[in-house]
Amino acid sequence: MSKFDENVALYKAQNSELGLGLSDELIVAVAKSLGPSIYNADSSKVSGSDSKEKETVKNNFLIKKLGLKDGPELDAAIDEAMVKLGTSNRNKYRVVVYAWLAKKFGKESLYSK
């Protein structure tokens, strides 16, 4: 099994354990879009307690990638994602967070073939 497949298996397991309802196809597509960052222990996870990290998710993913307009609903969605993945969970995988946010905002089509 490749390193990519091993990581995707972790993301699928987290999705299943938490009952997030993300499709395997969306998880794989988001993982591919993040490139080598999924292999780095730090960049592969999102820290829900770090305001700078939340700004990065908002600006680089929600606004730039998904094309959403800045507003309080983006911050609320990030906070909701952190709760969904478990506030005490230290392994909030970026792929799972991004896939959940894409689904929440109805932007899964950006990741379809």
pLDDT, mean of each 10-residue run, the chain (113 residues): 95 97 98 96 92 96 97 97 93 97 97 81
What integer pLDDT is reported at residue 48 of this predicted model?
A: 87
Per the structure, the count of domains in the chain is 1
Instruction: Answer left, alpha or beta for residue 106, where phi above 0 means left and psi between -120 and 50 means alpha.
Output: left
Distances from the Cα of 15 to the Cα of 4, 26, 43, 56, angstroms: 17, 11, 19, 22
Q: Are 111 and 30 in contact (CB under 8 A)?
A: yes
Q: What is the CA radius of gyration of the chain?
A: 13
Q: What is the CATH number of the domain that holds 65?
A: 1.10.238.120
Structural domain including 80 reads 3-111
Q: Are 25 and 108 in contact (CB under 8 A)?
A: no
Name the residue with tokens 């990581």: 7
